[in-house]
Chain A
């Protein structure tokens, strides 16, 4: 299954431990599933693996969240001190031109999905830290710093997870502190890895779970947190934009939220089905800050955190089969995000809860597959919500931003999501680039070091931890294929879409060009695994605890 960065992964002796349920990923889906399982049955042994050094370390989201699912999970979340402190107070959706902006009028009427009244601006990292504490109070065992490196499969059934080896050097040799990964046996495995999870990818291809579904399509979200002067802070102010600087063929836009103690969360999501290989999601994010509709919000402030993460945009049509022998998919690795709402937290929580209900029922039977998961989903608000939203995202790929927006209005206003047709996602994101020669080059402004920045100073604010002397976890399968396709046809698009500067097209002394991979810069966004035109780059989990250490506020 997963190709481990360490080739010796399959030859060492492994200790074993047994749980009823092993959950991979300590985000909203995994933690909701863990809490729900122990609420249903306090005797279950439930273990959560988290590749970040602590819960929340790898969480990136906007985030405006709908509290509905959280209230179903923990009705007393207020008394328990959940970090939902900033209610949305003011809301704008802007169509941007180069210098101007047109607010979408009667927003709540025209785009009911964008109605954020009753929602909260949060740091999803902080919400997850709090959920982790709640899960521990329910008796869940949480192990941060441990990756799910491989699935343990016996007789065609997933029977557990193998954690990653620690203490392996760059060449695959065991260092003095080498510690082999363990087999964590489980009667059910819940995958909650977030968008493009590595074990989820394995399980989807191994059990052919995508046979009756559209390809998944993704967006890359790049985010900064700013601390601004108190007098400029407008708690609960929420602004989204579309239009400039993206062209009509590229789906995406910016978000800006005031929350917490003088914090501003700003970010930009670029759909990864973009066509122009010269496009740089990082630079689009940077230059949007210069627009008059955004610039004043940063005045007198300082940037304190930077991060990036891919998200699933495919929605209803792209949901794979969600169960397999021995486990289930939840949250964004299944693709439960609601794109028109630009929200995935409430859907991740809900899918984790429903999965937990189905899993706890399966544990009482002899059936290795939690078969009631699908049926329970179909009877839930989650299913109708995603069904009604299904045509919005694909309409933009089909007709471009302007007609797509028009269609979306009609689909929401007139059909209320119940149009008698379903638009599809015709291709995967890695298939959409046009050749660099045919595509217009984009002239991005140079960073000014105050409002706009380069990648190096940005990644510095992700608090990366990565031992340089460990195997490269971004695997280029065929170096010659990179020269032939990525370099020759697309002018090395990875050097532009990677938000962390991992990839550089370099030249050796003898004139040969090659792809330099600075794996220690990786913020685990997964964009390369998604967008590489020949799927030649594979993201594997590095040593547990590696990667960003996003602090509170992210």
Chain B
């Protein structure tokens, strides 16, 4: 079986995002970018499936500008066998991403798509679901455990208040949640080897997919700054403030 792992280049999770001075969006110029952490988890799971003998090949795919190939090199340094870059400078919404991925799936014919449940930049949490629908495949979202057994995948899903276990017939789409695994580090020799692994670039325009945006960003703003606290002298003063200032007591 071949596993396809979509990986997204996002603002690194350690970076505090800053709204650009003109309010048009989040500042990305000169900001450290790295692989979406949920995609790292999805990739780790794919690599483990290959190590257990359930998969023979792990293919990483990213959609974005030329610089997204850095993310693909990281994926190959972690262990992906090869990589595909769907190159575009356009802003993409989940629907467009799912359509582009559908085209890749039709070309590559994987037995499983293992992807992050959401990207930490736009927090859409939609691409995996849309892709499964487009392909007509079963989906196991928010996975915290994946067991491959005889042509199906047993997926434990993290849901409100517990765990739901579903069985999917392969091929399927699985989206990874935080507790699925702890991704490995890329070792120095593997980073070196990754530089020589095949990376194919496909222009998004050549795939005959409508990627025009359906949404319009109206405004982007930072959360209001937290106001300084005050130390109250007595319980009476506290109660009084809760009534008159915070208005949480009648």
Contacts and interface: CB of A to CB of B under 8 A. Distances in A.
A551 B30 contact: yes
State the majority secondary structure of interface residues on A: mixed
A552 B31 contact: yes
Interface string A451-490: 0000000001101110000000000000000000000000
A166 B185 contact: yes
Nearest to A176: B182
A102 interface: no
A549 B14 contact: yes
Contact of A141 (B16, B31, B182, B192): B192
Contacts of A553: 30
A126 B30 contact: yes
Nearest to B191: A143
A262 B21 contact: yes
B188 interface: yes
B218 interface: no
A106 interface: no
A177 B183 CA distance: 7
Task: Give the bracket for the number of chain A residues in contact with chain B.
Answer: 20 to 34
A54 interface: yes
A163 B29 CA distance: 31
B14 A463 contact: yes
Nearest to B33: A54
A313 to B, nearest CB: 30
A311 interface: no
Contact of B15 (A141, A179, A227, A549): A549
Nearest to B225: A449
B228 interface: yes
Interface residues of B, number: 22
B18 interface: yes
A53 B34 CA distance: 10
Contacts of A304: 18
B16 A463 contact: yes
Contact of A460 (B16, B32, B189): B16
Nearest to B12: A549
B31 A551 contact: yes
A57 interface: yes
A53 B16 contact: no
B32 A177 contact: no
Contacts of B15: 463, 549, 551
A552 B182 contact: no
A40 interface: no
B51 to A, nearest CB: 13
A376 to B, nearest CB: 32
Given A53-B12, A143-B191, A304-B18, A551 B32 contact: yes
Most chain A beta-carbon contacts within 10 A, residue among B16, B185, B188: B188
A267 interface: no
A57 B32 contact: yes
Interface string B1-41: 00000000000101110100100000001111010000000
A17 B182 CA distance: 27
A552 B12 contact: no
Given A126-B30, A463-B14, A551-B30, A177 B188 contact: no
A15 B189 contact: yes
B187 interface: yes
A146 interface: yes
A461 B18 CA distance: 10
A221 B189 CA distance: 37
A552 B29 CA distance: 8
A281 to B, nearest CB: 24
A546 to B, nearest CB: 10
B184 interface: yes
Nearest to B13: A465
Contacts of B183: 177
A57 B31 CA distance: 10
Contacts of A175: 182
B182 A177 contact: yes
Contacts of A182: 187-189
A167 interface: yes
A127 B12 CA distance: 21
Interface in B170-191: 182-185, 187-189, 191
A17 B184 contact: no
A460 B183 CA distance: 26
B187 A179 contact: yes
A17 B191 CA distance: 13
Nearest to A543: B185
Contacts of A551: 15, 30-32
Contacts of B184: 177, 179
Contacts of A17: 188-189
A176 B16 CA distance: 29
A328 B15 CA distance: 35
A351 B37 CA distance: 40
A511 B143 CA distance: 48
Nearest to B182: A177
Given A175-B182, A449-B225, A549-B14, A163 B30 contact: no
Interface string B228-248: 100000000000000000000
A374 B30 CA distance: 38
A161 B187 CA distance: 15
Interface in A505-554: 549, 551-553
A179 B21 CA distance: 42
B30 A179 contact: no
Contact of A465 (B14, B31, B189): B14
A184 B188 CA distance: 10
Most chain A beta-carbon contacts within 10 A, residue among B31, B183, B187, B228: B187
A54 B14 CA distance: 13
B240 to A, nearest CB: 25
A436 B225 CA distance: 37
Contacts of A262: 21
Interface in A120-152: 126, 141, 143, 146
Interface in B17-69: 18, 21, 29-32, 34
Interface string A41-73: 000000000000110010000000000000000
23 contacts: A15-B187, A17-B188, A17-B189, A53-B32, A57-B32, A126-B30, A141-B192, A143-B188, A143-B191, A163-B188, A175-B182, A177-B182, A177-B185, A179-B184, A184-B188, A449-B225, A460-B16, A461-B16, A463-B15, A549-B15, A551-B32, A552-B31, A553-B30
5 interchain residue pairs of minimum CB distance: A552-B30, A465-B14, A179-B185, A166-B185, A463-B15
Given A143-B188, A460-B16, A463-B16, 6 more contacts: A53-B14, A177-B183, A182-B189, A465-B14, A549-B14, A549-B15
Interface of B: 12, 14-16, 18, 21, 29-32, 34, 182-185, 187-189, 191-192, 225, 228
Interface of A: 15, 17, 53-54, 57, 126, 141, 143, 146, 163, 166-167, 175-177, 179, 182, 184, 227, 262, 304, 449, 460-461, 463-465, 549, 551-553
